Amino acid sequence: MGNREQGMGNGKNSFLPLPTLHSLKIDLQAIPLNELIEIARLAREHARAPYSNFKVGAAVQCADGRVFTGCNIENSSYGSTLCAELVALAKAVSEGARDFVRVAVIADTISPIPPCGNCRQVIFELCGREAEVVMANLHSQFEIRKAGDLLPAPFDQSFF
């Protein structure tokens, strides 16, 4: 079933609180996994989900230590809804980031939330096969998989 790590904690307060959601410049080694998950959780609070009330947050960690956040943004034309992972990646790319090492995604679910199929494709293409995808929930559970494990047969540049 791929690489799997189970988070430990005692509920919503087990992640470290962080003061802001802005793009952070931090030494890559200094970002513990629980802080990246907490950054994604804080981003989730800004989600616009008036139709489903299903709020999702994401945080993308770059090799240079920057972290970009995203939340889902629903639209009444459901096809125009933006996923949290795509918002975070779009923000990162628009700021010049290109070397991504980890993507965390979190929602209020029974088990850790995986990216949807569309997000798996974009994560694979922008982050690469070896990027870690951290799937979490608000109950302090998480699971880590490589992007290539989540999308074993991607549509990629080899077809062009």
Domain count within the chain:
1
For residue 16, tell me if it sits in a domain.
no
pLDDT of residue 107 exceeding 80, the answer is yes
Is 115 part of a structural domain of the chain?
yes
- pLDDT higher than threshold 80 for residue 27: no
Question: Could you give the CA distance from residue 108 to residue 74 in angstroms, rounded to a whole number?
Answer: 16
Q: Is residue 109 in some structural domain?
A: yes
Domain hosting 104: range is: 23-149
- List strand residue ranges (DSSP E) for 2-45, in order: 24-25
In terms of phi and psi (left: phi > 0; alpha: psi -120 to 50; beta: otherwise), the region of 9 is left
Q: Is the alpha carbon torsion for 111, 113, 42, 22 positive or negative?
A: positive
Respond yes or no: is residue 125 known to be catalytic.
no
106 φψ region: left (φ > 0), alpha (ψ -120 to 50), beta (else): beta
85, 95, 130, 143: the active-site residue: 85
Give the domain CATH number at 56: 3.40.140.10
- Given a cut of 80, whether residue 103 has pLDDT beyond it is yes
* Residue 17, domain member (yes or no): no
Q: Is the pLDDT of residue 2 over 70?
A: no
Amino acid at 12: K
pLDDT 10s digits, 118-146:
999 999 999 999 999 999 999 999 999 99
Q: Any residues with CB less than 8 A from the CB of 63 and at least 6 apart, and which? A: 28, 99, 100, 101
pLDDT class of 15 with cuts at 50, 70, 90: very low
